Amino acid sequence: MSNDRPKIEVRGLRKSFGSKIVLDGADLHVAEGESLVVIGGSGTGKSVLIKTIIGLLEADGGSVKIDGEEVTTMRSRDRDRVLRKIGMLFQGSALFDSLPVWENVAFGLIQGRATDRREAKDIALAKLASVGLGADVAGLYPAELSGGMQKRVALARAIAANPEIIFFDEPTTGLDPIMADIINELVVQCRTELGATTISITHDMVSTRKIADRIAMIHGGRIIWEGPVAAIDESGNAYVEQFINGRAEGPIKMAVRES
Amino acid sequence: MPNNPLALIGRSVLSIFGIAGRLTLFTLESSSHCFRPPFYPKLILHQMVKIGFHSLPVVGLTAIFTGMVLVLQTYTGFSDFAAESSIPIIVVRSLTRELGPVLAALMVAGRVGAATAAEIGTMRVTEQIDALTTLSTNPYKYLIAPRLIAGFISLPLLVAVAEIIGVMGGYLVSTYKLGFNPTVYIQNIFDALETLDIVSGLVKAAVFGFLIVLMGCYHGYNSRGGAQGVGAATTNAVVSGAALILVFNYIITEAFFSK
C-alpha cells in the first residue's frame, strides 16, 4: 500500500439536522498508522463528525475516502466490507447488556465474521487480558461492572477483530483521573500493537497530549486548526489557545442553550 | 410566521406524509431482512418464547372470562326467543372469528409492544444499535427481523390456544350454570364450526402479531433523547399497535366475509 495516500480523507463534509448546521465543510486527512485527535467544545459536532465518517449518519454532502474508496455513496455490501476494517469505542461503552462480557467482546467475530464460538471465546479472553481483565470477568454481565471496567471491555470489543482503523469517542469522559490514565495507556498500547490508524475525539487535554500524533480543532462545523501535538502550545490561534487553557473569555462563545 | 393557519396545515400534512414514508421504508427494509440470510434461529426461538409462551397466562385469563361472559349475555337475550340452541354457535363463531384474535392481540400489544419498544429504544439511546453496525452486524437483521418472524408465527399459536380456552369457558358456564346438555353442546359446536372461521381468525392473528412487533420496533428504533424518548416510544408503540389491530381487523374481515 502506498504511503502517500491518506488512510482516511475527508473533504467538505456537511451534515445538518433540520435547520441546525453541525458540519459545515469539514476537511481532515489521516495517514496510515497515525493518531489524530479532534478536540473541540461540547456540541461542536465532534461525535457527528466521526459518526458521519463511519456512515452511522448519512452525510448531506462532501466526501469521505477510506483507503481511497469513496464511502458516502457506497452500496451497502461494499460498506459492510469497509466497516470490517473499523472498530469503534463508544462514549457510553454501548455494551450489549443482554450478553455476558466475553460474548460482547466476541460479538463482531461470531456474528459479523462467522468465527467458531470456541475460537472466538479464546480470542475474547486474550483481548480481555490485553486490557487488563482476567477470565473471571468474562462470565459477568456488563451491568455488574464499574464504568472503568465497562470501558475496558468496550475497548477489548473494539479491537477484537484487529481493525485497521479505530475510532475513540471520548475515551476518558466520566472516568476518574487514574482510570482515565489507564485507558489512555491502553489506547496507546492498542495502537502500537495493532499498528492501527486512529481518530479520537475528546475535550480532555491531558488525554489528547498522551494519545495524539496530530491534533485538529473543530469549531463551528469546520476544522479551524491542525498540527502536530508539539505545536499545540504555539498554535497562534486564539480559539485553540482559549480551548487548551480552558478560559471562559475568548473568541469561543459557548452556547448555553441549544438553538 | 408561527401563527399562520395555512402554514400550520401545510406542516401537519407534510409531517403526516413524512411519517407514512418513514414507516413504509422501515417496514420494507425490515421485512426484506426476514427473507435474506443470515437467519438467527436461536433469536427467533427466544423471541417466540417471550412473545407467545409468556403471554399465555394473561391471554388465557382474557379468553376464559370472555367465553363465560359471552354465554351469559347471549343467554339473557336469546332465551326470550327460545333460541338457546344457537348459543354454542354464537360463542364459537365470535370467539374464532373476532374475539379470540382481537382480544389476544390487544393484550399482547400491551405486553410485547411496550417491552419491544422499551428494549430497542434503550439500545438506540445507549448507542448499542450503532455498536451493532460497527461490529459488522445489520441491526435490522439481528434485532428486528427475528422479532417480526416470531410475532408472525407465535400469535396464531397463542390465539389457537386462547380460542380453545374461551370455548371451554363458555362450555363450563353453559353446562354447569345454565343446564345445557354437554354432549349436545359440543356436537352443536362442531356442526357450526367451519374451516373459514378458524382460518380467518388465525390469519388475523398472524397479521396482528406482525403489526404489534413492527410498531414496537419502529418506535423503539427511532426513539431519541434518553429516558423520556424511550417512554414516549413505548406509549406510541402500544397506542399505534392497538389502533392498527382494529383497522386491520376490519380490512381482513372485509376480505374474508364480504359478499
B-chain residues within 8 Å CB-CB of A90?
127, 130-131
B-chain residues within 8 Å CB-CB of A111?
135-137, 142
Q: Three-state DSSP class for A167?
A: strand
Q: Which of B105, B107, B139, B148 is nearest to B120 (CA)?
A: B139
Q: Three-state DSSP class for B235?
A: helix
Residues 10-29 of A with CB under 8 A from B: none
Q: What is the mean pLDDT of chain A?
A: 88
E strands in chain A:
8-17, 20-30, 35-39, 61-66, 69-70, 86-89, 165-169, 197-202, 214-219, 222-228
Q: What percent of chain B has pLDDT over 70?
A: 99
| Residue B257, C-beta contacts closer than 8 angstroms, at least 6 positions apart | B200
Residues A108-115: contacts with CB under 8 Å, at least 24 apart: A108/A157, A108/A160, A108/A161, A108/B134, A108/B135, A108/B136, A108/B137, A109/A160, A109/A161, A111/B135, A111/B136, A111/B137, A111/B142, A112/A84, A112/A161, A112/B135, A112/B136, A112/B137, A113/A84, A113/A161, A113/B136, A114/B38
Confidence band (pLDDT; 50, 70, 90) for B31?
very high
Best of A96, A113, A153, A164 to disrupt the B interface (most B CBs within 10 Å) is A96
Please indicate whether, in this complex, the C-beta atoms of B134 and A88 are within 8 angstroms of each other. yes
pLDDT, mean of residues A98-105: 94
Grid cell digits, residue B251: 380490512
In this complex, the residue of A86, A94, A161 whose CB is nearest that of residue B128 is A94
Which letter does DSSP use for residue A253 in this model? P
pLDDT one-digit tens code per residue, B10-21: 999 999 999 999
B-chain residues within 8 Å CB-CB of A58?
none
- CA–CA separation, B104 vs B229, rounded Å? 28
Residue B107 has pLDDT above 50, yes or no: yes
Instruction: Tell me the CA end-to-end span of chain A in Å, nearest whole number.
Output: 45
The residue of chain B nearest to residue A99, with distances taken between CA atoms, is: B128
- CA–CA separation, A3 vs A7, rounded Å? 9
The residue of chain B nearest to residue A158, with distances taken between CA atoms, is: B135
Residue A251 has pLDDT above 80, yes or no: yes
The interface predicted TM-score (ipTM) is 0.89
Give me the phi and psi of A66, to 5 degrees please: -115, 120
pLDDT one-digit tens code per residue, A230-244: 888 888 888 888 888
pLDDT of residue A1: 44
Q: Does A124 touch chain B (CB under 8 A)?
A: no
Please indicate whether, in this complex, the C-beta atoms of A112 and B128 are within 8 angstroms of each other. no
In this complex, the residue of A84, A94, A161 whose CB is nearest that of residue B131 is A94
In this complex, the residue of B126, B133, B135 whose CB is nearest that of residue A92 is B126
Please indicate whether, in this complex, the C-beta atoms of A111 and B128 are within 8 angstroms of each other. no
Chain A closest CA to B236's CA: distance in Å? 23
The residue of chain A nearest to residue B40, with distances taken between CA atoms, is: A111
Residue B237 has pLDDT above 90, yes or no: yes
Please indicate whether, in this complex, the C-beta atoms of B130 and A56 are within 8 angstroms of each other. yes
Q: Three-state DSSP class for A13?
A: strand
A-chain residues within 8 Å CB-CB of B142?
111
Please indicate whether, in this complex, the C-beta atoms of A54 and B128 are within 8 angstroms of each other. no
pLDDT of residue A186: 87
pLDDT of residue A259: 42
pLDDT of residue A3: 56
Residues 95-114 of A with CB under 8 A from B: 95-97, 107-108, 111-114
Chain B closest CA to A171's CA: distance in Å? 15
- CA–CA separation, B130 vs B124, rounded Å? 7
| Residue A196, C-beta contacts closer than 8 angstroms, at least 6 positions apart | A33, A87, A159, A163, A164, A165, A166, A190
A-chain residues within 8 Å CB-CB of B126?
92, 94
Chain B closest CA to A170's CA: distance in Å? 14
Q: What is the mean pLDDT of chain B?
A: 93
pLDDT, mean of residues B100-117: 95
pLDDT of residue B231: 94
pLDDT one-digit tens code per residue, B169-178: 999 999 999 9
Please indicate whether, in this complex, the C-beta atoms of B134 and A113 are within 8 angstroms of each other. no
Residue B215 has pLDDT above 60, yes or no: yes
Which of the listed ranges A54-68, A172-186, B85-99, B238-252 does the model predict with the highest average pLDDT?
A: B238-252
pLDDT of residue A113: 81
Grid cell digits, residue B41: 434461529
Residues 199-258 of A with CB under 8 A from B: none
Best of A58, A82, A90 to disrupt the B interface (most B CBs within 10 Å) is A90
pLDDT one-digit tens code per residue, A138-182: 999 999 999 889 999 999 999 998 999 999 999 988 888 888 998
Chain B closest CA to A108's CA: distance in Å? 5
pLDDT of residue A255: 61
Within its chain, how far is the Cα of A72 from the centroid? 18
